[in-house]
Chains A and B, each alone.
Chain A
Amino acid sequence: MNPLLPPLVPGLLLGLGGMALLLVGVLSKRDKASTSTYGAILLLALAAAFSFAAPDAVLFGGLLKTSLFTRYADSMVYLGAAAALLLSLDYNRREAMARFEFPVLVLFAVLGMIVMVSAADLMSLYVGFELQSLALYILAASARDSLRSTEAGLKYFVLGSLASGLLIYGISLVYGFSGTTNFVSLAAILANGAGYGIVIGIVFVLVGLAFKVSAAPFHMWTPDVYEGSPTPVTALFGTAPKIATMALLLAVMLGPFGHLLAQWRMIIEILSILSMALGALAAIGQKNIKRLLAYSSIGHMGYALMGLAAGTLAGVQATLVYLAIYLVMSFGAFACVVAMRRKGQAVETIADLAGLSTENPGFAFALAIFMWAMAGIPPLSGFFGKLYVFSAAINAGLNTLAVVGVVTSIIGAFYYLRVIKVMYFDAGTPGFDKTASGVRFVMFAGALVTCLFVLIPGPLIAAADAAAKALIG
């Protein structure tokens, strides 16, 4: 067998499998949506299994490179996408938007993300970036008859295109001033410093990627798109693409541009501080839980960027740990939002949760766990994410960043607490519909992992450490 084949198998599975599902969907006459969804979940699981079995490789003359780092990021992407698919199963049916194209689009988005994560060349980076973006634009607008969803899709498309434009402009500048798009050659050229042209190019690349991770001040699309998109799609937006883009940021900034750390570190610090501050302050006034989670995700990206700003091995490890923990909290919280339905209608305001703890203690407790974890209260998993990024930041001498992180955590705790307050202290009868088993599974599995992470933190931390070493030796 061709030694280059195994590392390609996950991508091929997703691409060809996605097309096969499309064919099946068009040709078959039965319940196509759920077959297609289960098929997609199966494909994701297979892709994950194959990606672990594959050795490290450099593919297509240096366009793609797989390593422990990409495998770590890929598996988070697979997990996030699979959770979003599980959530969509019931939601789409109840909202009468169950179509077989939905999971196929998710698969293509995932394919784009894994290309992005394993990119070793600015061109393959851009191709992967665009593939996932295009699929996501359609997903945002997938509730075709809903005005809000259409608006979200359009908004995401217009602003996303702008970001793509900035990204490709930055790439062209870098290429123009260095003569190459390959990461290895770029690193060699930039080892001797860089002129203004390249630095400006890097800034544009950074802005394009910051848009996708919704770091402030490039976050404007996030609350509207989160609120307007169907909730499972929001769950996907909150997890897989952010994690993939964050991994890409790590790989690009510390790979080819790693020698220019001193030049771009300040930008990352500013992005991080602004994101944390905005995430904490803007969320306070929100009444819609999806908007609240949107601002919360902006804040979380700020914390994750702290590790990148540190620019050290420990920093990369911290960001990777943070992302994995964030992934679980995030899809768990979205599972709770998906479960918020009354008389067949999805409800989204925080006030709708009043009295939930007496009516459905398990649900309320799970959401309380996610909120506490996001606030970073030990012994829940979210605390360890914060511990690692703060520790990386202080070890790299970025004390200001750590202090800002602490202050925003305190402010942030206030609005997370408000959700718990509404569920536990306020009287009310939410009267939610029975939660579908898939949603319940995502909710309780997430809560269990969030709760019990404290007992067995070892494996994740060791994996993040190995992945970080694979990235920057």
Chain B
Amino acid sequence: MNQTGFPILSLITFLPLLGVAYLAMLRGEALAVASRARIGALVTSLAVLAIGIYLWTAFDPSQAGFQFVEALPWLSGLDVQYRMGVDGISLFLILLTAFLTPIAILSSWPITKRVRELMMAFLLLETMTIGMFSALDFVVFYIFFEAVLLPMYLVIGVWGGERRIYAAVKFFIFTLAGSLFMLLALIWLWHNAGTTDIVTLLHTPIAPAAQMWLFAAFLASFGVKAAVWPLHTWLPDAYGEAPIPGTIMLAAVLSKMGAYGFLRFAVPMLPQAATAAEPLMFTLGVVAVIYISFVALAQTDMKRMIAYSSVAHMGIIIIGIFTFTVEGIEGALFQMLSHGLVIAGLFVCTGVLLSRGEALTLSRLGGLAAKMPAYAALLMLFSLANVGLPGTSGFVGEILVIVGAMKVNFWVSLLGAAGMVLGAAYMLVLLRAVLFGKARPELGSLADLNPGEYAMLLPLAAMVLWLGIYPGSFTHMFDASVNAMVQAHIAALTPHTALAMVTK
């Protein structure tokens, strides 16, 4: 068993299912069911958050390996076990999920259509996502990874905007296509190592020729999920059409699944291929940062502009991962957390306008700073964090990635940094269009934030500032894991030290 003497990861993974069961059993009048479903879902997700925080305190940052490990026999005869465990890399992604799910649930308060089903979908989504981040067996990982599609497909398709069906089907087919290729890679790795235990797979050498194919398969799957340019085309549709809580989960949590996949599988398992693919990934990352920033600049809709900014930031994360330096990878990880919080904040802000019945077309907004000062302040904070202003979380991640990239390739770091300037450009355009300028008479009188909205935005703002002002409380949790990963990568590329590592 593990240090808690208790299957805590299974608990945190499957607790939301308990909420789903409770929601399914609700009976009575529709309105009462809806409000009880909302409360039930919120309470469940807060309980998950509480367990997540306990997990954080119980986690031992000095160890590089996996902690809280659980194992149970599962698929007999195939040596596939139900294995769970976390290290410094996955811990914060679990926490991010646990932190953002209650916010997504809160942000769905204005939705009145089939509330109970929506809440069940979010709780299912939480189970799948946390399960995926804590899986220590590739088959288990794959199941959670792909099962995310089911609730998300329904969330976009049932509660989405005008072109929801197109967006939902596109999202599903794109992601499925990617993950099925990962399934082939998975089976190949399984055949090669005789097990699907991730810890064993991480230490099983693979012939460089085969690595290329496997990397291509991983790129197809994780690249789609992380919306790496040019595999991102599903993203603006899905983000644009999904309801606000769905967009929050997609942008803040699900896009991290792809980046996590690169960090957990593609880089450590396929060191030669990952190194060989470095120029490709840098190119894709830089193109994402620069080209997508321009695309974002051209958007006329607030939600789509933020969606494109998310693709640009995923480019930064990809650059960070493929520097194979401690700074770069820590920067990427930090950026994943920061981006999750910031993008969630921005989409919540978008939802605030939607819930007041406003359209999101930029040309039809303006002058909100005078009418909604608190709202304006918070939107400003998240926008600046998105740009990477020092003192906010966005800065730390980006500067680390740039430093990491500088060590490897000057041009990548220069172009990546150039993207941030463009980021500042489109975010400022957005701020000007929404908050300043002449107030449009047809906007009428808009009320400032209500307590429910404060409850979503203030925790996010506090976290953004915490990450920005004292990043150490987060980085020291994943220092050991990232260091070990980088060392293993270097060792794998130089055979002699690899031997030394093994004998050590």
Report A's interface with B, CB cutoff 8 A.
Answer: 317, 357-358, 361, 372, 375, 377-379, 383-384, 386-387, 390-391, 394-395, 402-403, 406, 409-410, 413-414, 417, 420-421, 424-425, 454, 457-458, 461-462, 465
Contact = CB atoms under 8 A, between A and B. Distances in A.
B74 interface: yes
A372 to B, nearest CB: 6
Contacts of A465: 76-77
A409 B184 contact: no
A377 B176 contact: yes
B332 to A, nearest CB: 28
B165 A387 contact: no
Nearest to B213: A399
Given A375-B176, A424-B154, A465-B76, 11 more contacts: A378-B143, A390-B187, A409-B180, A417-B153, A417-B169, A417-B172, A420-B153, A421-B165, A457-B75, A462-B76, A465-B77
Contacts of A409: 176, 180
Contacts of B142: 378
A457 B184 CA distance: 21
Nearest to B178: A410
A379 B169 contact: no
Nearest to A386: B183
Contacts of B176: 375, 377, 409-410, 413
A324 B73 CA distance: 22
B294 interface: no
30 contacts: A358-B114, A361-B117, A372-B150, A377-B146, A377-B176, A378-B146, A378-B147, A379-B144, A390-B183, A391-B187, A394-B184, A394-B187, A394-B188, A394-B191, A395-B191, A409-B176, A410-B176, A410-B177, A413-B172, A413-B173, A413-B176, A417-B153, A420-B153, A421-B168, A424-B154, A424-B158, A457-B76, A458-B74, A461-B76, A465-B77
Interface string B174-192: 0011001101100110110
A28 B136 CA distance: 64
Contacts of B144: 379
A367 B279 CA distance: 46
B194 to A, nearest CB: 11
Contact of B184 (A317, A358, A403, A421): A403
At the interface, is chain B mostly helix, strand, loop or mixed?
A: helix
Contacts of A461: 75-78
A394 B172 CA distance: 26
Nearest to B181: A406
A238 to B, nearest CB: 24
B187 A410 contact: no
Contacts of A410: 173, 176-177, 180
Nearest to A465: B77
Of A384, A410, A425, most B-chain CB atoms within 10 Å: A425
Contacts of A394: 184, 187-188, 191
Contacts of A462: 76-77
B157 interface: yes
Nearest to A369: B150
B149 interface: yes
A119 B189 CA distance: 39
A285 to B, nearest CB: 16
Interface string B133-159: 000000100111011011001100110
A421 B169 CA distance: 9
B304 interface: no
B164 interface: yes
B342 to A, nearest CB: 31
A375 B146 CA distance: 12
B210 to A, nearest CB: 11
Contacts of A403: 184
Of A395, A402, A410, A462, most B-chain CB atoms within 10 Å: A410
